[in-house]
Amino acid sequence: MHFQDLSLCEYHPGFLDAGSWSVPLRAAGWLEHPHAFPKAKAPAGFISRLRTLLQLTQESLPHYQFRGVHECSVCVAEGNEPPSSPGWSQGNLLIPGDGEIFAAPGGVVHYVEDHRYAPPNRFVSAVLGCPDIGTDEYFTELRRVNLGQTIPLQSKTEFDAMFRRQIEATLKKREP
């Protein structure tokens, strides 16, 4: 899937749909061949922080992982072997910015590391200042940036509790 950097992200109903947020949901790092993208050396600490945020997303928001693996079309076009490790592309990052939220695919780490993708400076600043994903501080910051409105994202604890309630209600209906 390709979105031009900083365009509105309308990828999937719910948390990856700009219409679900009170502020713009901006795309960053949705690369596909043959679309050109800016290249540069990554700022100090950026790749490490980006990698950490993706890992935290995979651990704390597993219920938002997508099934299937995306094949890096940039690698294919360059004649390189695309990543094949599980989980490299299934997660999607939501990064609170200044009056906007950024949505980036999990593959953004690969794009920055291996293809020298240079994301917009606004996104870089947001990544470097982002609270650890999954923490209370992270959800508080998402709500604050979203003008205090409800966010279309649940913590793992909230999701598990909702799922448990649904199972209990279903089992209760089956009782004689």
- What pTM was computed for the model? 0.91
Please check whether residue 117 is in contact with residue 35, taking contact to mean a CB–CB distance below 8 angstroms: no
Lowest mean pLDDT among 83-97, 110-124, 159-173: 83-97
pLDDT, tens digit, for every residue of 100-143?
A: 999 999 999 999 999 999 999 999 999 999 999 999 999 999 99
- Extended beta strands in the chain, E state: 10-12, 16-17, 25-27, 92-96, 101-105
Residues in the chain: 176
pLDDT, tens digit, for every residue of 15-68?
A: 999 999 999 999 999 999 999 999 999 999 999 999 999 999 999 988 888 766
Q: DSSP letter at 99?
A: S
Please check whether residue 104 is in contact with residue 95, taking contact to mean a CB–CB distance below 8 angstroms: yes
Residue 31 to residue 165: CA distance in whole angstroms: 39
Nearest to residue 168, comparing CAs of 158, 51, 160? 160
